[in-house]
Amino acid sequence: MGVGFVVGVLGVLILSHAAYSTIQYRALLKITEEEFSGPPINVVVELIAGLMLCMWAALTVPGKFLSILPHSDENRVVALPENLDFMIFNHRGKAIPMGIDAKLK
Amino acid sequence: MAGRVDSDKVKEKASDNLNDLPTFHAENMQNNAKVMYYSRTFMSIIGGVVAGILGLTGLMGFVFYFLIMGITSVGLAAKAGFSIHSYFDSWNKILLDGFFGGLMSFVLFWTFAYDIVHIF
């Protein structure tokens, strides 16, 4: 989380530097009275670099994907609740064949 | 001996253990949707700022937005390791969810950056 955050901030700083460069470029164009057709090449390279860094940060900072399959290894519910006084285990359920494979870790 | 109950709730919609997988871990599904939403929103904002700096106007800006969203979708699919089915229940979710939700943020930051860089 820390590294991704720093990378994201770095990307935003690069983008703001590119914005500042473009503002200065436009001021220069205003002096020479030319049309603005696009920012200079180094600004475009800087924008692409900032975009790549921000994209990396956007994919790593919000957190990991968690598995949604109910039978995967990290989704096991292995603890017993506290209200065992209200739970009866000696019932007719033991006559029903169960299809689960109960494996201990 | 009796530990605390796990706070994850698995909502069982099928009563038979031998069914296919119609049930999913609801809390993790929400977490995955939240992660995707944050990623897409952030990329919409960054895309808007870049579009404003580049001086894009009109249709080209929206084309740029769809390009950014497409790249973000590919990035999210890569983050899930391309094995989508263990994190989402369908391909549509990872490719299309939040596609248009970020459009408003994109336009806001696009006009914002364009004004700052090109007008003032």
What is the phi/psi pair of residue B59, to 5°?
-65, -35
Residue A101 domain flag: no
What pLDDT sits at residue A73? 67
The number of folded domains in chain A is 1
- Say if A38 falls within a structural domain: yes
> Which value does ipTM take for this structure?
0.74
Instruction: Kindly list the distances between the CA atom of residue B114 and the CA atoms of A24, A30, B44, B50, in Å, as whole numbers in the listed order.
Output: 14, 17, 15, 9
Domain assignment of residue A105, yes or no: no
Domain span holding position A31: 3-60
Name the percent of chain B lying above pLDDT 70.
82
| Nearest-angstrom CA–CA distance, B25 and A73 | 13
Which tens digit of pLDDT belongs to each residue from A11-61?
A: 999 999 999 999 998 888 888 877 777 788 889 999 999 999 999 999 888
Q: Domain ranges in chain B? A: 24-119
Whether A37 is covered by a domain: the verdict is yes
Rounded to whole angstroms, the Cα distance separating B34 from B93 reads 12
Residue A78 is assigned to a structural domain of this protein: no
Residues in chain B where the model's pLDDT stays below 70: 1-22
Q: Do B43 and A58 touch (CB under 8 A)?
A: yes
Which residue in the set B18, B38, B118 is minimally distant from A99, CB to CB?
B18
- The verdict on residue A66 lying in a domain is no
C-alpha distance from B88 to closest chain A C-alpha (Å): 7
Select the more confidently predicted residue: B48 or A62.
B48
Please tell me the distance in Å from B97's CA to the nearest CA on chain A.
15
CA distance B36 to chain A (A): 8
What is the identity of the amino acid at B18?
L
Q: Which DSSP string corresponds to chain A?
A: -HHHHHHHHHHHHHHHHHHHHHHHHHHHHHHHT----S--HHHHHHHHHHHHHHHHHHHHTT-------TTSGGG---PPPS-GGG---SSGGGGSPP-------
Task: Among A57, A63, A99, select the one facing B35 at the smallest CB separation.
Answer: A63
pLDDT digits (tens, 9 = 90+) for B23-55: 777 788 888 888 888 999 999 999 999 999 998
Kindly state whether B60 is in contact with chain A, defined as any CB-CB distance less than 8 angstroms.
no
